Amino acid sequence: MSTIRLKGGRVYDPANGVDGEARDIGMRDGRIVALHPQEEADHEYDVSGCVVMAGGIDLHTHIGGGKVNLARMMLPEDHRANRARDPLLELASNGCCTPGTLETGYRYAQMGYTAAFEPAMLAANARHAHMEMGDTPILDHGAYVMLGNEELFLEMLARGEDFERIRDYVGWSIDASKAMGVKVVNPGGISAFKFNQRKLDVDENHVHWQVTPRHVVHTLARALTELGVPHPLHIHSSNLGVAGNIESTLATIDALDGLPGHLTHIQFHSYGKEGPKKFSSATRQLIEKVKASPNVSIDVGQIIFGQTVTASGDTMRQFANADLGSPRKYVGGDIECDAGCGVVPFRYREQSYVNALQWAIGLEIFLLMDDPWRVVLTTDHPNGGPFTSYPHLIRLLMDKSFRDEQLARLHPDVAASVDLREIGRELSLYDIAIMTRAAPARLLGLADRGQLGVGAAADVAVYREDADREAMFATPEYVFKDGRLVARQGRLEAVPVGGTHFLETEFDPGIEKTIERYAQRHLSVSYRNAKIGKDELCSCANGGALLACKVHGRLGGK
């Protein structure tokens, strides 16, 4: 197998404490290796003047599944432009906020990303999600199964089922859907909306099942801890987008009671209700709480001005915002006693007071949080903005004068008052490498990704140094996936099929009887089709590598 040497680059590899040292990186058989300086490599790339990082990892991006596909169908206007492409390697695929899966893979790889995770896979729609991810080329992928709104789970909670049984159910769900983690969306709220409840606070009862979001969050977080699932419970908290929702967010952190939790797109959950518009930044309250809660990690969900579409499982909140759609259209669905979906196109405007403040809040969170290992860079693609705006976002974080220029364009009341004006911090390349590689890998339990140590997967991005960080991060000089050159200066070089990350959990199979009986009485699919086997996953995922991760929880491998 051929060897590759990247010679003379400055390496940023926070997982191994490497901060901009000039050193060579060797690759062989898809892995990082130590090459002796005298050893001749089959391919040597002079990367002096370049920055070398592990391939980027997006741990929260809506890249595949039912609601994403509905968003594509709903927005043909997002697909009018056809960019020039390489006819030998690229198939026709386009879109900006709702790209086709092929376009998603091409564009992520062209930016130096090598893995992306779909955060909201419905169990009822899991095959479809894996199919779309399988057709997202180059990137490795995985998904978090949405739990906490299925009627069976809520029923078990309501009747006071033994925790161990619920834990087994969670283990089974991860295994059956071939998930990499668990996400809870508006805990209990998607189900409550089916019973016509329009609001659900953290300590409020679900109108039918009489359980609270606090109970749901705590139970799921405990189950994942006991199952040994590496990624903390991925939490889309109650009251997304509502003024004053900081109270729900703080209460959700309290509900974890010290258990690991990842609060996602936290920007959308960090609002106060002060000021003339009864809508204000609650960044400082949030940061104080997160700093004091080492069990909590976050990703931001930065908004980016311009057209996008919001696609979420949170039907309760999406329906409430349906009238704000721009263009004015709405897709919503109640799905299989499992969860739901809501899609609202949206245009974030600089001159909107609310949008301007949302923009500032997101940046404040990045800049005020002292521990980059607990902050992941996301726009919650496409909800805050398309993932293709990451280079722009990186420049906003690394370049105070650029940030000030953008700030000056905002709604004047926001531009004149936000804390962001006073924040002088500029993130370093080391910070960026943490937030876009090392931290997401660590939060997902991917020991051999997001880093460049010997033995790690040879997913590598090489960026040519440029004071304009947006230009620098938009078009890496070279991108390698598993040791194979996949992109050079923004052009694709190869289009391999990515692999699927998923967990193999341990649980007492006795739980299957309960699930089977429930399926027979309430669902519309036979129990024999409730589980995705490994062979089936392989065909869904287009024959890509199956990157199974065995986890051992309290059952201890029994």
Partner 1 sequence: MNATAQTENPPPSASAGQEWTCPFCALLCDGFRVESQQGGLKLVGSDCSKAVQGLASFGPVPAAPSATVDGREVSPDAALDAAAERLAASRMPLFGGLATDVAGMRQLVRLANQRGAILDHARGDTLMPVLRTLQDRGQMFSTLAEIRNRADLVVCIGTDAASNFPEFFRRCGPVDEVAFARRTVFVGASAPAGLQGEVDEVALHGDLFDAVAMLAALIDGRRLPAADAALGQLAQAMRASTYCVVVFEPGRLPAQGALIAEAVLRIVMSLNRKTRAGAFMLGGADGLQTANAVATWMSGLPLRTRVGPLGLDHDPLQYASDRLLQEGAVDLLLWVVSLGPNPVPPGTALPRIVLGHPALAADCAAAGTVFIPVATPGVNADGHLFRADGVVTLPLRALRDDGLPTVAGVAKALEERLALRRLATEGRP
**Is the N-terminal amide bond of 327 cis, ω within 30° of 0?**
yes
Among positions 13, 24, 103, 459, the unique one binding partner 1 when judged by CB under 8 A: 103
Q: Which of 38, 524 has the CB closer to partner 1? A: 524
Q: How far is the CB of 302 from partner 1 (least distance, A)?
A: 24
In the bound state with partner 1, the residue whose beta carbon lies nearer, of 31 and 79, is 79
Report if residue 210 touches partner 1, rule: CB under 8 A: no
Is 440:59 a contact under the CB 8 Å cutoff? yes
Residue 123: DSSP 8-state: G
Contact string (CB under 8 A) for partner 1, positions 263-302, x = contact: ----------------------------------------
Residue number, 64 or 181, with CB nearest to partner 1? 64
Residues facing residue 235 across a β-bridge: 184, 263
477, 467 contact by CB (below 8 A): no
Q: Which is nearer to partner 1, 351 or 539 (CB)?
A: 539
* 477 contacts partner 1 (rule: CB under 8 A): no
DSSP H helical ranges for 439-533: 439-444, 469-474, 511-522
Q: Give yes or no for residue 107 binding partner 1 (CB under 8 A).
A: no
C-alpha 367/C-alpha 380 separation (Å) is 18
- Distance of closest approach, residue 454 Cβ to partner 1, in angstroms: 36
Nearer to partner 1, 351 or 529 (CB): 529
User: Where are the strands (E) in 415-522, listed by range?
Assistant: 460-464, 478-481, 484-488, 491-492, 500-504
Q: Answer for the pair 156, 179: CB distance below 8 angstroms, yes or no.
A: no
Q: Smallest distance from the beta carbon of 135 to partner 1, in angstroms?
A: 6
Shortest approach of partner 1 to residue 322 CB, angstroms? 8
Sheet holding 3-7, edge to edge: 31-33, 25-28, 3-7, 43-46
Q: Does 379 bind partner 1 (CB under 8 A)?
A: no
Choose among 115, 97, 133: nearest CA to 58.
Answer: 115
CA–CA distance, 457 with 33 (Å, rounded to integer): 10
Q: Looking at beta carbons only, is 329 or 425 nearer to partner 1?
A: 329
- Name which of 116, 143, 115 is nearest 128 in CA terms: 143
Q: For partner 1, how many residues bind (rule: CB under 8 A)?
A: 70
Check residue 430 and report its DSSP letter. Answer: H
Q: In the complex, what is the shortest distance from the CB of residue 347 to partner 1, in angstroms, rounded to a whole number?
A: 16
Closer to partner 1 by CB, 366 or 518: give it. Answer: 518
Q: What are phi and psi of 174, to 5 degrees?
A: -65, -45
Among 483, 479, 472, 462, which residue's Cα sits nearest to residue 50? 462
Is residue 332 part of the contact set for partner 1 (CB under 8 A)?
yes
Q: How far is the CB of 520 from partner 1 (least distance, A)?
A: 5
Between 357 and 540, name the residue whose CB sits nearer to partner 1. Answer: 540
Would the CA dihedral through 96, 102, 106, 111 be positive or negative? Answer: positive
Instruction: Give DSSP secondary structure letters for 2-36.
Output: -EEEEESPEEEEGGGTEEEEE--EEEETTEEE---
Q: Does 11 bind partner 1 (CB under 8 A)?
A: no
Alpha-carbon span 555 to 542, nearest angstrom: 33
- Under the binding rule (CB under 8 A), the answer on residue 319 touching partner 1 is yes
Which position among 56, 99, 148, 241 is part of the footprint of partner 1 (CB under 8 A)? 99
Nearest by Cα to 9 from 20, 19, 28, 22: 22
DSSP state of 457: B
In the complex with partner 1, the residue whose CB is nearer, 75 or 376, is: 75
Q: Which of 242, 155, 144, 259 is nearest to 202 (CA)?
A: 242
Stretch that binds partner 1, among 249-257, 302-310, 335-343, 470-478 (CB under 8 A): 335-343
Query: Looking only at residues 35 through 94 of this chain, which bind partner 1 when binding is defined by CB under 8 A?
Result: 64, 66, 68-70, 72-76, 78-79, 82-83, 85, 87-88, 91-94
CB atoms inside a 10 Å sphere around CB 557: 8
Q: Which of 61, 98, 312, 388 binds partner 1 (CB under 8 A)?
A: 98
* Long-range pairs of 510-514 with CB within 8 A, sequence gap ≥ 24: 510/168, 511/165, 511/168, 511/169, 511/171, 511/172, 512/172, 514/152, 514/165, 514/169
Closest C-alpha to 116, from 543, 462, 499: 499
Tell whether residue 542 is a contact of partner 1 (CB under 8 A). yes
Q: What is the x/- site pattern for partner 1, positions 501-540, by CB under 8 A?
A: ------------------xxxxxxxxxxx------x--xx
125 makes contact with partner 1 (CB under 8 A) = yes
Q: Among 33, 331, 446, 495, which residue sits at the site for partner 1 (rule: CB under 8 A)? A: 331
Nearest distance in Å: CB 342, partner 1: 9
Piece of the chain touching partner 1 by CB under 8 A; list 165-173, 191-199, 296-304, 414-422: 191-199
Residue 137 or 372 with smaller CB distance to partner 1: 137
State the residues that interact with partner 1 by CB under 8 A: 64, 66, 68-70, 72-76, 78-79, 82-83, 85, 87-88, 91-95, 98-103, 122, 124-125, 127-128, 131-132, 135, 151, 193-196, 319, 322, 328-338, 343, 519-529, 536, 539-540, 542
